[in-house]
Amino acid sequence: MPFVTFIYKIGKRTYYGKYVFDSMSDDHNGLDDEIRPMVLHGINQFRAQKNKHPLNDLKIGILSLSIEHHIPCYSSECEYKCFDFYCDEENYYSKKIYVNGKLVVNGNQAMNIHF
């Protein structure tokens, strides 16, 4: 499956993320813009559980992109524990989002997020 690894900033702290896609279109204006809505959604779900105000925007820097047709890119199911943000897109309508290793979105809870 294709994936993007990235960094993002909240305040002065830098965090690490990975977004594993079911499929990825090459028709977009930038990978950072492509993933930003879902990353914000997951982080805000986590912040809501901690009674913190939601974020309105997020700066994202892409570190790498891997497309399965070019590089064998299998990882174990436990790697989400190593990232501050991790999204596993099973398909367009079903995602698992982890923040700090904690599941915050499961299944179709993310369906109303539009890119």
Q: In this predicted model, what pLDDT tens digit does every residue of 41-100 receive, in sequence order? A: 999 999 999 999 999 999 999 999 887 665 556 666 778 899 999 999 877 678 899 999
Domain count, the chain: 1
Residue 79 in domain: yes
What's this model's pTM, rounded to 2 decimal places? 0.82
At 114 the pLDDT is 45
Residue 50 in domain: yes
pLDDT at 18 over 90: yes
Residue 22 in domain: yes
Residue 36 in domain: yes
At 60 the pLDDT is 96
Compute the half-sphere exposure of residue 66: CA atoms within 13 Å on the CB side of its CA. 13
Residue 84 in domain: yes
Q: Do the Cβ atoms of 44 and 55 come closer than 8 Å?
A: yes
Residue 115 in domain: no
Residue 93 in domain: yes
At 115 the pLDDT is 41
Residue 98 in domain: yes
Q: Which domain holds residue 33?
A: 3-110
